[in-house]
Amino acid sequence: MTYKTIDTAEYPAQFADKAKRLAALLSPYYKGELDLHESPRSHYRMRAEFRVWHEQDDLYYIMFNPETREKIRMDQFVPGSELINTLMTAVRDYVIDKPILRNKLFQVDFLTTTTNEAVISCLYHKQLDKEWEEAAEQMHKALSSLTAKLGLIGRARKQKHVIGTDEVIESLTLGQHSWKTVQTENAFTQPNAAINQQMITWAMHAVGTSSHDLLELYCGNGNFTLPLATQFEHVLATEISKRSVASAQTAAQMNKVDNVAFVRMSSEEFSEALKGDVEKRRLQDIDLTSYDFGTVLVDPPRAGLDDLTLNVVSEYQRILYISCNPETLIQNIEALSDKFDVTKAALFDQFPYTHHIEAGVLLERKAD
């Protein structure tokens, strides 16, 4: 299904099909009820990327049908936030008659927040010179009134020009607390703000409050880390992306969270260090023996957990697993099934009108 053919009336049936599919996959390991979390039916995506199509004097956005590669004109984008739709029109209308900004423009990316902040990235098949920078400054000034904060970025081969900012501050309300996160252009963030809020809330309820420490692998910008830090004694969180770690550290200061340490390492590297196989320079200021890890949180890429990381997480009492690929999730659950039971499970519809499923499970060690 392409975005052009979205029919919001079909959403309940599509969501029900996803719930049945996930329940069937989990059935050998989990007999309880799935916690089901529906997405808003429109304007749920906070980021989007569009190719730009030049046709004589006209200029418009396109996406490609993933099956046929047919190009689909996108004058509006129903899944996109209201702000994305506003900025789509504003950018197109501004550059269409300005050759300096229009020439060789082949893609525009939008990152927005529920706090009305945005970063627009314009990608070019040409080098960006002083004349482009001056024209882009005027564009930034013209569009800034549409947002609370606006960043405009020009990208070309080995070039990145930032006007204003390349990051935004998102705010999520969880219970009585408002949490701020730093989201950066070209870095991963959860695309569906409403579902992200539900995911964090579910995770907090799933693990409850503990007197031990939390280990988190693949922590990104601290999206789960900081709210969960209120429920554990200490948190050690790892992430391979330097920019994401910097964003997480900034967010920790903004939210006045002081019981979290962030380490820039891949899960594989950290797993090796935990096993004592290698010494890692980035852990030189951290005494791993001082932590009492009882729960581990993983939010891996689509490939799931590698064998080494699986071996490491199997040492703890509980594993909170957030998955963007139910097939690899089931493979990992199978590998852990001798030692762990799935005690809670949830479906989060990050990507309505697609086949993609986001899931969360809590695995708890079996009684001896």
Domain ranges for the chain:
3-41+192-365, 47-168
Q: What is the percentage of the chain residues whose pLDDT exceeds 90?
A: 85
Residue-level pLDDT at 288: 84
Residue-level pLDDT at 280: 67
Give the chain's radius of gyration (CA, Å).
22
Q: How confident is the model at residue 3 (pLDDT cuts 50, 70, 90)?
A: very low
* Residue 218: C-alpha distances to residues 222, 235, 238 (Å): 9, 13, 6
Residue 282 confidence (pLDDT) above 80: no
Backbone phi and psi for residue 261, each to the nearest 5 degrees, phi listed first? -115, 130
Residues contacting 192, CB < 8 A, separation 6+:
39, 44, 45, 46, 349, 350, 351
Backbone CA torsion sign across 267, 270, 275, 279? positive
Which pair of tokens denotes residue 339? 């030692």
In whole angstroms, give the CA distance from residue 166 to residue 162: 6
Average pLDDT, rounded, for the chain? 94
Annotated binding residue 218 = yes
- Report pLDDT digits (tens) over 321-356: 999 999 999 999 999 999 999 999 999 999 999 999
Annotated binding residue 190 = yes
Which pair of tokens denotes residue 174? 């969880």
Annotated binding residue 223 = yes
Annotated binding residue 239 = yes
Q: Tell the residue number behind the tokens 């995770």, with chain if given.
A: 203
**In this predicted structure, which of 67-76, 268-277, 282-291 has the lowest mean pLDDT?**
268-277
Q: How confident is the model at residue 126 (pLDDT cuts 50, 70, 90)?
A: very high
In whole angstroms, give the CA distance from residue 53 to residue 61: 6
Q: How confident is the model at residue 1 (pLDDT cuts 50, 70, 90)?
A: very low
Average pLDDT over residues 85-106: 98
Whole-model pTM?
Answer: 0.93
Q: How confident is the model at residue 277 (pLDDT cuts 50, 70, 90)?
A: low
In whole angstroms, give the CA distance from residue 67 to residue 155: 29
- Report pLDDT digits (tens) over 181-237: 999 999 989 999 999 999 999 999 999 999 999 999 999 999 999 999 999 999 999
Would 3-41+192-365 and 47-168 be classified into the same CATH topology? Answer: no
**Do residues 59 and 92 touch, judged by C-beta distance below 8 A?**
yes
* Residue 209 CA to its chain's centroid (Å): 25
Residue 138 confidence (pLDDT) above 90: yes
In whole angstroms, give the CA distance from residue 269 to residue 356: 29
Average pLDDT over residues 31-35: 95
- Report pLDDT digits (tens) over 146-158: 999 999 999 999 9
The residue type of 221 is N
Class of domain 3-41+192-365: alpha beta
Residue-level pLDDT at 5: 61
Strand-pair category, 47-55 with 318-323: unpaired
Which residue from 183, 256, 280 is spatially nearest to 222, judged by alpha carbons?
183
Residue-level pLDDT at 333: 98
CATH of domain 47-168: 2.40.50.1070
In whole angstroms, give the CA distance from residue 312 to residue 271: 6
DSSP codes of every residue in 171-228: EEEETTEEEEEEEETTS---SBHHHHHHHHHHHHHHH---SSEEEEES-TTTTTHHHH
Residue-level pLDDT at 2: 41
Residue-level pLDDT at 176: 84
Q: How many residues does the chain have?
A: 368
Which pair of tokens denotes residue 366? 């079996």
Average pLDDT over residues 48-54: 97
Q: What is the percentage of the chain residues whose pLDDT exceeds 70?
A: 97
Give the alpha-carbon dihedral of 252, 258, 259, 260, to 10 degrees. 30
Average pLDDT over residues 238-257: 95
Q: How many CB atoms lie within 10 A of CB 323?
A: 25
Catalytic site positions: 324, 358
